[in-house]
């Protein structure tokens, strides 16, 4: 009986924390596209040609990486199902976030990157 009570308390507390309430149970963040531009001017214009790197990442990781170079990096989501909550700088309609991020990543990729 005592073991059952301990298990019930452990399960209950696991599902009552703020991470679970925010939809991030066990670290499952929504995926976003972290876009790093070649310059501040390119970041301001948001032109595809100015993209140096695009990474499809969980939001929490993207936010940490963006802080390192905030003047040339932004977090984007795309498509009807793209996450639009806190931490996302821009959201655009169109293809999915993953597909658009893959496209952006290939813009300035050379064959040496493969």
The pLDDT tens digits for 32-55 are 999 999 999 999 999 999 999 999
Is residue 35 classed as helix, strand or coil in its secondary structure?
strand
The yes-or-no verdict on residue 19 having pLDDT over 60 is no
Cβ pair 82, 96 in contact under 8 A: yes
- pTM comes to 0.70
How far apart are the C-alpha atoms of 41 and 83, rounded to whole Å?
26
- Per-residue pLDDT band for 8 (boundaries 50, 70, 90) equals very low
At 110, the pLDDT band (50, 70, 90 cuts) reads low
Tell me which long-range contacts 64-72 makes (C-beta under 8 A, separation of at least 24). Answer: 65/34, 66/34, 69/36, 71/40, 71/43, 72/36, 72/37, 72/38, 72/39, 72/40, 72/42, 72/43
Query: Which two tokens mark 52?
Result: 């140096």
Question: How far is residue 56's CA from residue 79's CA, in Å, rounded to a whole number?
Answer: 14
The CA distance from 76 to 33, in Å, is: 5
Provide the residue ranges of all domains of the chain, joining segments of one domain with +.
Answer: 30-113
Report the candidate in 108, 78, 81 with the shortest Cα–Cα distance to residue 90: 78
């Amino acid at each position: 009986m005592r073991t059952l009570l301990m298990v019930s308390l452990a399960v209950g507390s696991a599902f009552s924390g703020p991470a679970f309430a925010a939809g991030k149970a066990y670290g499952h963040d929504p995926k976003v596209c972290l876009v790093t531009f070649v310059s501040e001017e390119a970041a301001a214009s948001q032109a595809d040609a100015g993209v140096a790197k695009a990474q499809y990442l969980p939001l929490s990781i993207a936010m940490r990486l963006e802080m390192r170079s905030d003047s040339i990096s932004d977090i984007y989501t795309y498509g009807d199902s793209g996450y639009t909550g806190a931490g996302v700088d821009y959201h655009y309609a169109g293809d999915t976030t993953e597909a658009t991020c893959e496209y952006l990543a290939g813009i300035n990729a050379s064959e040496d990157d493969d």
